[in-house]
A and B are shown apart, each in its own frame.
Chain A
Amino acid sequence: MPGLEDLYREIILDHYRNPRNRGELPSPPAYRVEGFNPLCGDEIVVYLDVSEDGRVVDLRISGQGCSISQSSASMMSSAVKGKTVDEARSLIRAFKAMMSIHEQRLDADGQPEDAVIEEPGVKLGDLEALQGVVKFPVRIKCATLSWNTLQQGLDEADQAAPSPA
């Protein structure tokens, strides 16, 4: 049976107690996206400043939630700040793979298949501390809340950006 030490690693508690990049950004120009976990009432707001050359130049988190969702958001903010949108997207995929989230995609015959999409080149660093969450299935949604919200923000940024000629 997994124990608490698998879940509440010291670095997670640190990010929970001292969340990084908390606050808001004026929106617009920043993208403001809300995420919601109906199970536990967690709410997260991600503010994203994406530069014209497709870089996440600033990012802020507000909202409230449990230690897992809050620390995951905090670590995410540190990991993503300064990265390009593409790098941020591979980080999201790598994080979800670590959370064993199965993405539906079409296989060669056009049939939907469930697969964990690995991102071999991506370093998760501190975020690996969240791996223990996988042993507590009901908490996975807490860990992924901010990541799904970020993804939505990146999608909005992409849609708004002038498509490359």
Chain B
Amino acid sequence: MTMQLDVERIKKDFPILDVGVRGHRLVYLDSAASSQKPQAVLDAMTRYYETTHANVHRGVYAIAEEATRLFEEARAKVAAFIGAPSPRGVVFTKNVTEGINLVAQSWGRANLRPGDAVLLTEIEHHANLVPWLMLKEWLGIELRYIPLGEEGQLDLSDLDRLVDGVKLVGLTAMSNVLGTLPPVRRIADAAHAAGAVVLVDAAQYVPHLVTDVAELGADFVGLTAHKMLGPTGIGVLWGRESLLDEMPPFLGGGEMIRDVRLDGFTPNELPWKFEAGTPPIAEAVGLGAAVDYLSGLGMESVRAHEIELTAYALRTLTERFGDDIVIHGPAEPGMRGGVVSFSFKDLHPHDVSQVLDEWGVCVRAGHHCAKPLMRRLGVGATARASFYVYNDEADVDALADALDKTSDLFA
């Protein structure tokens, strides 16, 4: 049975939520851009620096061994959290963007030839578009796209033709604009049947749903810590070990080598082969603490809370604003994540978010790093409210009240 989240208690774990803005409480509705951090994460990082810090995989003295142990323990926690068979396939990166670039540069350059096709979708974040557009420029690969169909869902009617002959399929597991949860497994199965490998951008998925890389059917999965209560500066690329083993290194330097001679080098084994230079150690410790925190809440409960809150938000906003608000993406809360992109009257999202800010309500305004999707939706920009474990119905009400004020100002 999934436990209901005790949001009132959870809010107390996030020191920033005590910070007032212009005499209002902080109503943080931008977790899809970056989440806030619980005290447990901040403490773990501070404690690490205060008691343990040394470089990892180098010193033989006690604190260096402890730092290495904590760093590798964090890797094991992430592996367990995403259902990875072993920590060997869990590569620490700077963020999900770097993880995707790793795949494009290392796997892509080793496996793609001019004319080879890569299949993406129209709803991708720039992070899963530009690395492939760069390969298109360098190698002359062909890019195909699964189109956006009705109700914020991908149109899979032409999937068989699109996937035919492609070498890699890359897709988001949750749209950061529409909240869409594409049927990753179904697409992955079609990709595998066509002989392609599957890369999943799980930046928005891992923070909000139970993740199992095997169930997703993915060969590569990227995530980014700062969206899942962890610190900035660290992400993870999980890869099927047989693929990672075959791939050439990405960045070169210390840590990623077994041996270096003046005429060559031998790369290290997994996962360090892909971790050149001193890694983000404190950040890994913080990510481990974030994973512990989320596991403590239970990801089923996190998801159930978000469905409930998203349902409340969709209901509240449509009831209060009717035709004045256009909400993009799937209408059914169970079919989407907790991101609500909207257009309000004919107001520009910049103006909307500026006025909301006056009331302490933080929403994102802009193209959300998904310009092709914006063009497809026929909007220059949207405002976006996104929810996480520390949000509740009062936050949604604060958003709606502030929208009323926005409406008054520009009337």
Label chain A's interface by main secondary structure.
Answer: mixed
Q: In the bound complex, how far is the Cα of B354 from the Cα of A13, in angstroms?
A: 14
A43 and B358: CB pair below 8 A?
Answer: no
- Residue from the list B351, B355, B358, B366 in contact with A41, Cβ < 8 A: B366
Q: Is A119 an interface residue (CB 8 A)?
A: no
Residue of A nearest to B355 (CB): A4
Q: Is A165 among interface residues, defined by CB-CB distance under 8 A?
A: no
In the bound complex, what is the Cα–Cα distance between A31 and B334 (angstroms)?
52
Residues of B in contact (CB 8 Å), total 17
**Max chain B C-beta neighbours (<10 A), residue from A4, A17, A41, A136:** A41
CB contact under 8 A between A41 and B374, given known A4-B355, A65-B348, A139-B350: yes
CA distance A2 to B381 in the complex (A): 25
Please tell me if A3 contacts chain B, counting CB pairs below 8 Å: yes
Cβ of A104 under 8 Å from chain B: no
- Give the distance in Å from the alpha carbon of A16 to the alpha carbon of B351 in the complex: 11
In chain B, residues 329-367, which have Cβ atoms closer than 8 Å to a Cβ of chain A?
347-351, 354-355, 358, 365-367
Q: Which residues of A contact B410 (CB under 8 A)?
A: 13, 16-17, 67
Number of interface residues of A (CB under 8 A): 21
Complex contact A40–B354 (CB within 8 A): no
What B residues does A64 contact at CB under 8 A? Answer: 380
B366 to A139, Cβ gap below 8 A?
no
CB distance A1 to B22 under 8 Å?
Answer: yes
Say yes or no: is B409 at the interface (Cβ < 8 Å to chain A).
yes
Nearest-neighbour CB distance to chain A for B23, whole angstroms, equals: 10
* A40 & B355 in contact (Cβ 8 Å cutoff): no
Which residues of A39-60 are within 8 A (CB) of B?
A: 39-43
20 intermolecular pairs with C-beta atoms under 8 Å apart: A3-B22, A3-B358, A4-B354, A4-B355, A8-B409, A13-B409, A39-B366, A40-B365, A40-B380, A41-B380, A41-B381, A42-B348, A42-B380, A66-B350, A66-B351, A67-B347, A67-B410, A68-B350, A68-B351, A142-B350
Residues on B lying within 8 angstroms of A by beta carbon are 22, 347-351, 354-355, 358, 365-367, 374, 380-381, 409-410
